[in-house]
Amino acid sequence: MGIKLGVNIDHVATVRQARKDINPDPIEAARVALSSGADMIVMHIRGDRRHIQEDDLERIRKEVKCYVHLEMAANADMKNIALKYKPDSICIVPEKPAEVTTEGGLNFKDKSMIREIEKVIKAASDNGIGVSLFVDPNADDVRMGYKLGVDTIELCTRKYAESWGSKNQASELERIQLASYLVKELNMSLHSGHGLDYYNVKPVADIEGMECLNIGFSIISRAIFVGLKNAVSEMKELID
């Protein structure tokens, strides 16, 4: 079975929000992505609503029949949003107001954050919503994810992506490989994402047991030049 491709449509909404217009419409982008090989649609609703809006969640649920994966911080507001719009699954990610994008995996040293994560995991699971945790590729954090009781880990590939072409590239890839083995050994589903593009994706896709890659920025960027249909189908071909 091939690797699933989750296409993150946040940055279609980023362009729309630049004018606070109705175009480009992320829901239309979801339709094109799905008909071009995407297995699911990924959306990250941020506290500052810089791209995806609640209305987008409502519309994708009403207007498109597809698997929706919602990335969100662990707090009461986001928990309520997840319970209201009922995505098929959520990924709990850390969120800092001033960050340009998610900077890394969850910080399990923050005990109050762990309590918030536990509340979100329970609420989502009680409502039939799948839960994954966005985790840095190291054994301690993967084990912590396992202890928290989720069945899916999404390994953060940001450092690997940033190391592409540098002397750290091989060691960053190795970190992801080792963490992947542990995820599989603990019988959890293995997903990865962040910063993956048409150059760096193959070694991650080749990791044994990889089930799903969530990719946004590179696909939407490429779509400007080749169209979304081609950008999605090229990526799907690369990871299959």
What's the helix, strand, coil split of the chain in %, to 5? Answer: 50, 15, 35
Q: Are strands 130-135 and 212-215 parallel, antiparallel or unpaired?
A: unpaired
H or E stretch including 226? helix 217-226
CA distance 89 to 82: 9
Q: Which stretch binds ligand PXP (CB under 6 A): 117-125, 137-145, 181-189, 216-224?
A: 216-224
190, 193, 210, 236: which one contacts ligand PXP (CB under 6 A)?
A: 193
89, 102, 180, 200: which one contacts ligand PXP (CB under 6 A)?
A: 102
Indicate which residues carry an active-site annotation: 44, 71, 194
7, 124, 144, 196: which one contacts ligand PXP (CB under 6 A)?
A: 196
91, 121, 129, 176: which one contacts ligand PXP (CB under 6 A)?
A: 91
CA distance 2 to 73: 29
The answer to the question of residue 214 lying near ligand PXP (CB under 6 A) is yes
- In this complex, which beta carbon is closest to ligand PXP, that of residue 137 or of residue 195? 195
3-class state of residue 89 by DSSP: strand
CB 193 within 8 A of CB 176: no
The answer to the question of residue 8 lying near ligand PXP (CB under 6 A) is yes
| Dihedral of alpha carbons 226, 231, 235, 240, sign | negative
The answer to the question of residue 134 lying near ligand PXP (CB under 6 A) is yes
The answer to the question of residue 200 lying near ligand PXP (CB under 6 A) is no
The answer to the question of residue 120 lying near ligand PXP (CB under 6 A) is no
56, 141, 154, 172: which one contacts ligand PXP (CB under 6 A)?
A: 154
24: cis peptide before it, omega within 30°? yes
Residues 16-75 that bind ligand PXP (CB under 6 A): 44, 71
Q: Which stretch binds ligand PXP (CB under 6 A): 82-90, 122-130, 144-152, 189-197?
A: 189-197
- In this complex, which beta carbon is closest to ligand PXP, that of residue 29 or of residue 62? 29
Alpha-helix runs per DSSP H in 23-110: 26-35, 54-63, 76-85
Alpha-helix runs per DSSP H in the chain: 10-19, 26-35, 54-63, 76-85, 111-126, 139-147, 158-162, 169-185, 201-205, 217-226, 228-239
Amino acid at 229: K
Least distance CB 182 / ligand PXP (angstroms): 19
Chain residues binding ligand PXP by CB under 6 A are 8, 10, 44, 71, 91, 93, 101-102, 134, 154, 193-196, 214-218
